[in-house]
Copies of this chain bind each other. A is one copy, B any other.
Amino acid sequence: MTDNRIQTYIEQRLILNQKVMDTNHLGIKRFFNLDTNAYTDSVLSGKTKELLGLTASLVLRCNDCIDYHIIQCIDAGFTDEELFEALNVGLVVGGSIIIPHLRHAVESIELYHQLQMKA
């Protein structure tokens, strides 16, 4: 057990994704595949597209999606300062209703770095 909510998120996401796969629904499986493919290297780098995913998740106010893309963005090599810049774009686009998700995102960046240091 852990009290780092990013680690809890990673673990829970795996367990629940398995339940979704266990529905054995072809359409859902194909959607998950399409989703994965959207972030692979192409004429835009996968790295850049993860940043697009993070900003989209922030303006749509989905904490789980924010956490997922923060992990992907940090793994892809973005610095914290670059992530703050992307979050600022999302804040200006989405307004103060975004602020609770911005607070969440800033904390998630810190928590994922703590996980990385332990690993």
Contact = CB atoms under 8 A, between A and B. Distances in A.
A90 to B, nearest CB: 6
Contact of A44 (B35, B82, B106): B82
Contacts of A10: none
B60 A59 contact: yes
Main secondary structure of the interface of A (DSSP, over half): helix
A56 to B, nearest CB: 5
Interface in A68-119: 79-82, 84-100, 102-104, 106-107, 110
Can you list the 7 inter-chain pairs with the closest CB atoms, starting with the nearest? Answer: A95-B95, A16-B103, A64-B100, A27-B88, A38-B92, A44-B85, A52-B55
Interface of A: 13, 16-17, 19-20, 23, 25, 27-28, 30-32, 34-35, 37-39, 42-44, 48-49, 51-53, 55-57, 59-62, 64-65, 79-82, 84-100, 102-104, 106-107, 110
